Structure 1
């Protein structure tokens, strides 16, 4: 069984019954019989929308906006809010309950409070009636649920993006392959550090480097590798609803011990605790590092940068893989989500029209418009049924189309022809689309914990610091376990208990 199938939405999530039975196999395919544009028998829907500004604000009545309005039978009134001020503006709207018909939000405590206060329509029971939204993997909606219910449409982002970006020429020269075990990672890191993979006669390379954010957030290197080795994504939950943090599991501890060993043997950069992420990237760009933990589409940009300094360099990308096969720690799967306020959309009939608009944006015509632009202006067709940007089309797309793309529900690989690219670019794009087959989700992502809300950052920093001290040899195994005990006493036990209570409540 694939990893993601073990983490289907909870039974209390209304969308589960209707969505997970709808084939995700539609993803990546273009409808052979695309729907016609919206009927003009009905008056256009006046639709006010508040979304974040991405780059320059598109001109009102632009060709892209006109195409959207014509296809969806709407009259759009878009309020573009500068990103730096966006959350503050949303908070003002929530406080006054004066909102447009569609509002982009992020899952912050203020938004969750607004949802729990009944400001937005619950849409979960209706989603099965919309072919494009119901065709998406239910985990997208699970990841924005509140108390098991769905109140918005995600701005979809691929969840299984995590990948290994590596110097294929170096591994080939040393007769190595991408490792799939803890011992394998040690051997490859050692060889890339000591065996002169660049053949310059100097001891100036590393297999892997860490930076000061190595154990933080969705991109945590420890989490990504532990998941690949069969571990959990941030938290595990047993059949009784008991939660355990990743750092109390064997797989995570094995990864921590791996980096401790690499550090002790000077096979890992000794300054990782203070090294900025940008500086770590520069080390790869200048042929000083052989492997990066990144996302699959980073392979192309990495190759482009390396070619400027090392023309013979060959970069490749690979999935995280271990004893159980490919396993990718899931990301949240969205860049926020679109909610529909009850104060602006007052009837269920209008609600259904708004949902119809959002669903039509994922039809082949609209997916192509939002992901590729306008034919002849931004892109052209190739002889093998792919699309490619023409002339200065990509840069024009960034100005004219990207602001809409980044704020509307579309997903690369769904209802759009593939983009012609260099091989590593095409490989990375496909890997990110296919990654959803292998995701391991965080079962606590949408659960509630008062202690976490109040003290989570402090408690996380305590554990992160302990992990750094352990890797650097400043504390031993016993002292590291003492740090975990302190975390539990300082609030960790409460978080685990509160997660269990939230989880059990949802399962009823």
Structure 2
């Protein structure tokens, strides 16, 4: 489970604004090419959570994709806050797109095990780009040993601390390591007016409602508790699987947030704040720390805060705990695409869809989705690298596609990015993080109980954590909520995961 390998595939391509000159589908297999030899454009309907502002239909990026892949693309952008409800409605009604981007959770797992989606594992060998990637990307999303999804490939050790160095220097602070350090940083930034406007309107960090996401290893609680000794979602104690929130380091992290909430050092509305609102608070120059991805977010964070605070100084450091570098290993994806049998009627159509996604990993498409269009979003440097021309325009017009379709930001085949000092530092941290990631030991384990009751169980524990942090229940109340969770099926999940763990560690 400890994934230490990464993919490093770079080449240079010729890409001009609005056109693709001399492009060939060098990543498409002969078998797939012959399957679509009639040259009829493939209709590709996609549903995905919205990233930022939804691009306009027929955008330059979309047209370039359609021309290169010989497809007619129709993307349904669903607001992130409404996506899970919409997903479940679409699954229940069998009115699904041909490619459905989802995240791994109980409802997704249940739908897969119900036979609603095509298995694609045996077909990948016929697609050069898809099959040459490290197996870790696929192993991490298998269900009962079978592959149904195409992941949105991501680095596995991405977490780090992006912070306002000017604030830290002015207040005599260093990036936090221990939980006490996190408290001291939050207190200083909430009470010592680091933006010098005379108002109590700054925070050490600003939480949103996904702070304790029960599935994603990039949740704030998991990223903060793992360096302090907690497991990554699920760990092992005395040969048995244990949930992160049943361990002392995680409980210590909850107590820290409880204390901060009581002292108004964190935002009091954290349980209802959307991620976009949290981003906006940083952009407005009101937040000192972002626990985020270090490769892209460090530079973007600097660019965004600079608009409101031109003199802001931003830096990035690895996520270090009392015992050194230790971060939660992420799944290697930002969700994955499933192919519903109700809308993809035949295996031949499935193969053409896989061919479409395979082509998105060609050098030309990798550059399009991670850099944009030459002359509009980026320019090419003398040494053949891409340099963003207008990062704001890129974030508006390209980033939604980059974050919603399979592509590589730092390890792709497209034109490599000319990195500034902050980006280069973030990339170095991400590479070094791979040596110290803590895996989720139960990531691909199967639990019948979790499949049936996972949503209910996840909501129970999330609500209990929020109540505890907000002071609505005390330690005894938390234990009572934990006991309820165990009786409602949590103990069965633990037992079933433990049985799976025993089988894999004979």
Give the TM-score taking structure 2 as reference length.
0.74
Three-state SS of the structure 2 residue aligned to 1:362 is: coil
Change (3 A) 1:483 1:56: same
Matches within 5 A, 1:408-487: 408-413=405-410, 414-420=412-418, 423-424=421-422, 427-428=425-426, 438-472=436-470, 475-487=473-485
Tell me the equivalent position of 1:72.
none
Q: 2:265 aligns with which of 257, 264, 268?
A: 268
Tell me, in whole angstroms, the C-alpha distance in 1 between the residues paired with 2:268 and 2:59.
48
Match of 2:46 in 1: 51
Q: Deviations over 1:132-159 (max 9, x none)?
A: 3344343321332111111232232444
Residue pairs, 1:386-397, within 5 angstroms: 386-390=385-389, 395=393
Provide the residue aligned with 1:225 in structure 2.
224
Larger-gyration structure (1/2): 1
- Counterpart for residue 103 of structure 1: 99
Secondary structure class of the residue paired with 1:484: helix
Name the CA shift for 1:112/1:300 in 2 (closer, same or farther; >3 Å): same
* Alpha carbons 1:7, 1:443 under 8 Å: kept: no
Q: Distance in 2 between matches of 1:66 and 1:398?
A: 20
Quick check: 1:176 aligned with 2:176? no
- Provide the C-alpha distance between the structure 2 equivalents of 1:370 and 1:363, rounded to a whole number of angstroms: 11
The 1-side partners of 2:62 and 2:285 are apart by: 45
Query: Structure 1 residues 407 and 458, CA, compared in 2 at 3 Å: closer, same or farther?
Result: closer
Whether the 8 Å contact between 1:26 and 1:135 is mirrored in structure 2 is: no
Q: 2: distance between equivalents of 1:119 and 1:457?
A: 19
Q: Deviations over 1:182-205 (max 9, x none)?
A: 233334334444555456677765
2:486 aligns with one of 485, 488, 491? 488
For 1:294, the equivalent position in structure 2 comes to 292
Alignment of 1:333 with 2:333, yes or no, is yes
Paired residue secondary structure (2:315) = strand
1:29 aligns with 10
Find the aligned partners of 1:173 and 1:377 in 2 and give their Cα distance: 39
Local SS of the residue matching 1:334: strand
| Rounded Cα–Cα distance in structure 2 between residues aligned with 1:113 and 1:244 | 22
Gap change, CA 1:434 and 1:28, over 3 Å in 2: farther
Q: Which structure 2 residue ranges, 5 or more long, are not aligned? A: 14-21, 49-53
Task: Decide which moves more: 34-43 or 224-233.
Answer: 34-43
- Count, aligned residues: 473
Structure 1 runs not aligned, ≥5 long = 1-5, 9-19, 70-74
Q: The residue matched to 2:166 in structure 1 has which SS?
A: helix
What is the TM-score normalised by the length of structure 1? Answer: 0.74
Q: Partners of 1:434 and 1:411 in 2: how far apart?
A: 19
Say whether 1:167 aligns with 2:164: yes
